[in-house]
Structure formats: C-alpha cells, structure tokens
Amino acid sequence: MTAVLQTQGLGKKYGRRWALRNCTLDVPAGRVVGLVGPNGAGKTTLLNLAVGQLQPTSGGITVLGGRPASGPEQLAGVGFVAQSTPTYAGLSIAEHLRLGARLNPGWDGAVARDRIGRLGLDPAQRAGKLSGGQRAQLALTLGIAKRPRLLILDEPVAALDPLARSEFLQVLMEAAAEHRLSVVLSSHLVADLERICDHLIVLVDSRVQVAGGVDELLATHHRLTGPRLHPVRLPAGRHVLSERYTDRQTTLIVRADTPVFDPAWTVGPVGLEDLVLTYMARPTDTGRQSALEVQR
C-alpha cells in the first residue's frame, strides 16, 4: 500500500496537556479517506500537523514522502480546507482566484472559473457576503484549483444545511475522480462519509480503532442475534466487539474475516454508522496500533 500520509508515534502537546499522543497510522494513496472519531480524539490536531500548521512534540509524520510544509513541492502538493472554511471577507471571489493564482505554482485557473460558474456565483461578490455554504464552496474551489496531490478537509460541512452539504460533497467527489486526488476528510457525519469515502479510519483518543476499505469493513462485520447465552462462545477468528443482552436475546457485533455460518445465530449486516459507534465505544488499545486493521 502506498501511503500519502504516515505517522509514527506522533504526539502534540499544549503546555502539559497532550492533544495527540503516540498516534500511528497510514493513509493510503488514491482514496477518499474518512477520518472519524469522538470530540477531542485529536483529528484536527493530526490534520494541522499534516499541513505543517503545527509542529510535532514527539514522533514522526510524513506527507507525500516528506516533512509537512518543508519546501515548495510539499506546499504545492497539499491542499487544505480548514474547519472554518477560511476566506477573506473583504475580497471578492475573483480576487480570491487571482490570489490563488499568485500563491500556487500549479494553479488551474480554468478549473477555478468553471467551478465558480457552475455554482452560479458572481465573481464580483465579496466573500463576506456569501452564505456559509457558498463560502465553503469557494474554499473548496481554491483547494481543488491548486491541483494538489492530497486534499485535506477538516469538518468542512459541519455548519452547512443538508442541501449545501450534499452539493459540497458532490463537487468534492467529482474533483477527486476527475483529478485523481487523494482526499482525507474528517467529519462526524458518518452518512456523508459513507456516501463519498472508500476508506475509513476511526480515531479514538489518538489511537486507530479500526481502519480499512469501507467495502471490506462492511463485509467483515456482522450482527449476530441468538438466544441469551452467557458467556458467549464463538469459533476462533471471530472477534466480539460488542455484546447486548435482553431477557431472552443476545446481540453481538462481530468481526470475522470469513463468512459466519452458524445455526446458533441469525447473521445480519452491520451498517457503517453502527460499526463506527461500536468502535468509538470500545476502550482504546494504548501503546500500539489496533490489531483490527483491515487491508485491501
């Protein structure tokens, strides 16, 4: 697997407090990768380290094979749409595009103008007068027209209404396919991630709880329902991730790399939302990357 972003024991401390600690992960190239995890898991810290806006306190991070923001090639290769989708309120859309052209050697003016046209935005409009959704689209346009190899987006759609969110994700999906971008997108909205991501990383307390292709994750996780049994015994190779009991019934979420055929259990699929919630609820495995990594 070629990785566009790799961390090894990465940590960032603010004063005496760790925002990210001992984080080890790989982000594969050529994928749209969803980064999900609870509040405070360290997602924003990780993404800011990846774009060189923060410096690590410990451990290492490699982006596109080099140190983040370490030179012109690195800076040109990585696009970033931050949480607040920052734009300059006093500048018009056209001025943003001119600024983009000045600052980015690989700037694709035709892509930028085409996207602004397709969005129906007036180039003379000031960014400060745009709606939240339009501002997010402008920030995304700047990120795409830079023609990076890796585009990183930190919760870009959190403040958008469902329609604006859907339009934003549509543009992102089109750009990822058209320009063969590697994308890392953090979000709490699993349904959105399911729509556009082909790879998922669940980060809890700086640790990767599970990572893998979305199809593989869905194929290897199952909901087993059966009579109340305690303790539960399953054949080797099945990892029980969660157990729920009622008076009569046991429900398990299980990871199994081979199909589960067991007459004692009714086997059903697990949706991505439930899968993410299951891993978010599990205690973190301190000190090493989760053994539950699913590779293509």
Ligand X SMILES: Nc1ncnc2c1ncn2[C@@H]1O[C@H](COP(=O)(O)OP(=O)(O)OP(=O)(O)O)[C@@H](O)[C@H]1O
Count the site residues for ligand X by CB under 6 A. Answer: 11
CB closer to ligand X, 232 vs 280: 280
Q: Is 55 in the site for ligand X (CB under 6 A)?
A: no
Identify the residue whose tokens are 């329609």. 163
Q: Is 268 in the site for ligand X (CB under 6 A)?
A: no
Nearest approach, Cβ of residue 79 and ligand X (Å): 19
Nearest Cα to Cα of residue 150 among 248, 47, 60: 47
Is residue 47 helix, strand or coil?
Answer: helix
Q: Rounded to an integer, what distance in angstroms lies between the CA atom of residue 255 and that of residue 270? A: 10
Q: Is 220 in the site for ligand X (CB under 6 A)?
A: no
Instruction: Candidates 13, 40, 53, 65: give the one binding ligand X (CB under 6 A).
Output: 40
Piece in contact with ligand X (CB under 6 A), picked from 34-42, 96-104, 217-225, 238-246: 34-42
Buried/exposed code over 134-172 (b: 16+ C-beta within 10 A; e: otherwise): bbbbbbbbbbbbbbbbbbbbbbbbbebeeebbebbbebb
Residue type, 140: L
Nearest approach, Cβ of residue 248 and ligand X (Å): 38
Nearest approach, Cβ of residue 82 and ligand X (Å): 11
Nearest approach, Cβ of residue 111 and ligand X (Å): 29
* Structural element, H or E, at residue 113: helix 109-118
Q: How far is CA 8 from the centre of its chain?
A: 18
CB closer to ligand X, 93 vs 276: 276
CB atoms within 10 A of CB 47: 24
Contact 216, 296 (CB under 8 A): yes
Q: Rounded to an integer, what distance in angstroms lies between the CA atom of residue 109 and that of residue 65? A: 27
CB closer to ligand X, 37 vs 212: 37
Piece in contact with ligand X (CB under 6 A), picked from 39-47, 103-111, 164-172, 208-216: 39-47
Q: Is 43 in the site for ligand X (CB under 6 A)?
A: yes
Contact 145, 128 (CB under 8 A): no
Q: How far is CA 255 from the centre of its chain?
A: 22
Nearest approach, Cβ of residue 220 and ligand X (Å): 25
Q: Is 109 in the site for ligand X (CB under 6 A)?
A: no
Nearest approach, Cβ of residue 18 and ligand X (Å): 7
Q: Rounded to an integer, what distance in angstroms lies between the CA atom of residue 61 and that of residue 189? A: 26
Instruction: Candidates 5, 27, 41, 153: give the one binding ligand X (CB under 6 A).
Output: 41
CB closer to ligand X, 37 vs 133: 37
Nearest approach, Cβ of residue 48 and ligand X (Å): 8
**CA geometry: angle 46, 49, 50, nearest 5 deg:** 85
CB closer to ligand X, 45 vs 141: 45
Q: Rounded to an integer, what distance in angstroms lies between the CA atom of residue 58 and that of residue 66? A: 17
CB closer to ligand X, 41 vs 144: 41
Q: Is 42 in the site for ligand X (CB under 6 A)?
A: yes
Q: Is 79 in the site for ligand X (CB under 6 A)?
A: no
Alpha-carbon distances of 97 from 92, 110, 116, rounded to whole Å: 9, 10, 10
Residues 6+ apart with CB under 8 A from 277: none
Instruction: Candidates 24, 45, 85, 87: give the one binding ligand X (CB under 6 A).
Output: 45
* Residues of this chain that bind ligand X (CB under 6 A): 14, 17, 19, 37, 39-45
